[in-house]
Structure 1
């Protein structure tokens, strides 16, 4: 997953997760690789990467890999060149998640956050706007600030009627995306095609193999690449795992499991600060406060913030402990008799959502990758079950999405995880992670079998390597990327605060 926080109507999250062999990518000799012309990056990429200096280039790929000589689209990639060419091993392609997140400045973001110099020496870091994203033949469903579709996680269904109401919205959204798909690109946005694009990028870079680091949905993309092109994969690091090469209804339902497992960390934090925020002296009292506020907002929204968006806001703010204080402050405001504060006002002006491109790509890839249930009763049963099993968020994560009405059937089966190939897959997973709970890492470890090893971190949050701050995971992953030493399966204890 890859998420963005937006004020106004507005505590909005733009979410962020068979045995048949998928269509093989057409053979492409590296000698025929595109000659890249590295140039200065667009101004917004330069600004986002500062003070690091990136170069950018364009790689043409087929829109439809079953017609490789047909329509071509251009993918923009970026490069943070090795700081020590004498120690350079090759390229490390990066993906920040989504699907739909722009990866052009991820290399600079990781470097600025403290990516070890040994990794910066060993690789040219390659960022990518995957097909449909940002500067790579972008797509749009034309989602607006006043429209009914603000996030890819469905609204919380307080009852059975709410599922039926959301089904009507989901159907209109699928029709809206179809109406805005003027270049017929949406059907070609899939994880399998993203993996084929990665191999075209590898060839264009003149590399025999590529290493890969992917976060969240990036884990699914990396798993797909390592499965489709095992002998071209070098060192693969999958961080915060969806659990497969695609996100399906079961994977989205795991969001609720992740929230149940992660919420106690926030509840304990808030209980320790009861004197400041007054949300409860014990974690159990903080949990009751959550339900009190949510049910109050279900009946009477505040400045456009209803119970569903309140729950979605908490889902996003559990991604990182740095967001806990903002969360506690919001809860304080909402418990007042007449709550009102900057950032809670509804946006009544109709304009294109800043997250429109992200929302569109997420929908297209997720809906195209796998067959979704089309029967509303399936979602009704799932919502009723998960409302009881996961009361914090289950009736949201299990709710119906536009994938139930998507106009395109999958062009091929989901990429099956390939457990035959080099032992080169390192799986990183926090114990408590909202969109990608620990079970996702376990599932991928089971599927890759002896090709993989898993490092579990006694920590909370979304993202392990560099962004998570755990010393053990940092050391193990860096050693693997630099020296190629795939560790044993292990658990990293929480780093001291």
Structure 2
């Protein structure tokens, strides 16, 4: 499953020497000294330093790893297109290659592509919770309840994760607002007056927060696969919305598998899935990730077929343990620092019981308890109330398992931005799981500034 955790191999070693640049005089941020990335010389790499705590810079600095592919046509260059990764906790360092280089030539001619690892991630100053192999296993990446919806094990695990993830001071300062501030530090280091950016998944929320905090520094912003930015809930609401997204998306997989009944023999695909999860609960985690792209349908279908027949199971590709530990740590810190979560285990038990009845495919997981119920830190500042922006174009698949279309409409309402609605399934639309119509609409915006609602 190529998108199993949406984390990229962190093999690039970064070096950077800092030198003064007159273009950075507005803030004093120094410009990075670029060197060829050892892992792939098509990218340039550097590091910059940013405050760990913007409210108290005396606490020291952390490193941000950045990468770049400059446009081959400087005479047509408009500026920088920053590629904001999802997660929270995903690496963005390789995105100029893995995502940027699949963009059409007319976009590449106008922008330098810039990627980065957010604070806490990978080649930037990283954090880890040092979890046990069981607590860090993929099956526990999301809080799937036990048999009958029992959350006893989830409560104990959530407490352990909270205790483990708060041993490092940096964990207190990993927030979406700080990532937006870090992005503005990247802008200054690049010597740019404004930034254009393409945010995907959680990266759309980062982008919306950035344009709210720094509206005059935003050029053209593409928000691809957004969720509800309700400042009272944010990450808690995103988790809740998985139930809706899976119900929207699962029929695509069921129809695909039914059309291949002679190969997989799954019968009533929904009924078969629900029956298999009674005895093989790990299937739930693989199902959720398997809905991210049509390309992962064959592996999910084969996994279900093998479970049903008692045959050897296909291998599910997993990220290296250190990457997974890093992703869990940043995901946990961001979600818990951004907003207050209910503290009562009883609250979650009741919510799980209700959700299981309404959304049986996800078995109550989206309402279950997480480490945030035991997070010891208070919010340093309130979550951002997203402001309207005339700089944004949104694109959203109608059947997205992770950021459902109905939630994306809430982001549109907050931004009052045009939305390209794509009749497709999967997570990520622009040159990912969308279609040519949606791709053309976003490309026209990046190249010409054309910004309009469109059904694709």
TM-score of the two chains, using structure 1 as the length reference: 0.83
Is 1:40 the equivalent of 2:36? yes
C-alpha separation in 2, matches of 1:174 and 1:401: 8
1:203 Cα offset (Å):
0.8
Does the 8 A contact of 2:146 with 2:153 survive in 1?
Answer: no
Match of 2:144 among 146, 150, 155: 155
1:91–1:125 contact (8 Å) kept in structure 2: yes
Q: What is the aligned partner in structure 1 of residue 419 from structure 2?
A: 454
On the 8 A contact 2:88/2:202 being kept in 1, the answer is yes
Q: How does 1:296-315 map to 2 (within 5 A)?
A: 296-297=279-280, 307=281, 309-315=282-288
Equivalent of 1:234, from 189, 209, 219? 219
How far residue 264 of structure 1 moved from its aligned partner, in angstroms, is: 0.3
Contact 1:248 1:372 in 2 (8 A): no
> Quick check: 1:144–1:356 contact (8 Å CA) kept in 2?
no
Find the partner of 2:234 among 247, 257, 280.
247
Does the Cα contact within 8 Å between 1:157 and 1:395 map onto a contact in 2?
A: no
* Residues 1:260 and 2:247 are matched in the alignment: yes
**SS in structure 2 at match of 1:319:** coil
Gaps of 5+ in 2: 8-23
| 2:297 aligned residue (320, 324, 339) | 324
Could you tell me which residue of structure 2 aligns to residue 300 of structure 1?
none
> Given that residues 79 and 195 in structure 2 are in contact (C-alpha distance below 8 angstroms), is that contact kept between their aligned partners in structure 1?
yes
The 3 A distance-change label for structure 1 pair 31 and 137 is: closer
Q: Secondary structure of 1:32's match?
A: coil
Q: Aligned match of 1:413 in 382, 390, 396?
A: 382
Deviation at 1:418, TM superposition (A): 1.2
The one of 178, 185, 188 aligned to 1:203: 188
What is the count of residue pairs matched by the alignment?
Answer: 435
Partner secondary structure for residue 222 of structure 2? strand
C-alpha separation in 2, matches of 1:354 and 1:411: 27
Q: Secondary structure at the match of 2:158?
A: helix
- Structure 1 gaps of 5+ residues are 7-11, 13-27, 47-51, 298-306, 493-497
| Structure 1 residue 3 displacement after superposition | 5.3
Deviation, 1:42, is 4.0
Say if 1:143 and 1:149, in contact at 8 Å, map to a contact too. no
TM-score by length of 2: 0.91
**Residues 138-185 of structure 1: per-residue CA shift (max 9 Å, x gap):** 00001343446544311134335x213211111011112223x2xx10
- 1:142–1:352 Cα contact (<8 Å) kept: no
Give CA deviations for 1:437-468 in whole Å, capped at 9, x if unaligned: 0012100011112xx11111000001110112
1:177-224 deviation line (CA, Å, top 9, x unaligned): 223x2xx10000000000000001101111110011011000110011
- Matched residues in 2 for 1:5 and 1:66: separation? 33
1:440 aligns with 2:428: no
Q: Secondary structure at the match of 1:142?
A: coil
Q: Does 1:81 align with 2:45?
A: no
Give the SS at the match of 1:335. Answer: helix
**Structure with the greater relative contact order (CA < 8 A, sep ≥ 6): 1 or 2?**
1
Residue 74 of structure 1 and its aligned partner are, at CA, apart by: 1.3
CA shift for structure 1 position 234: 0.7
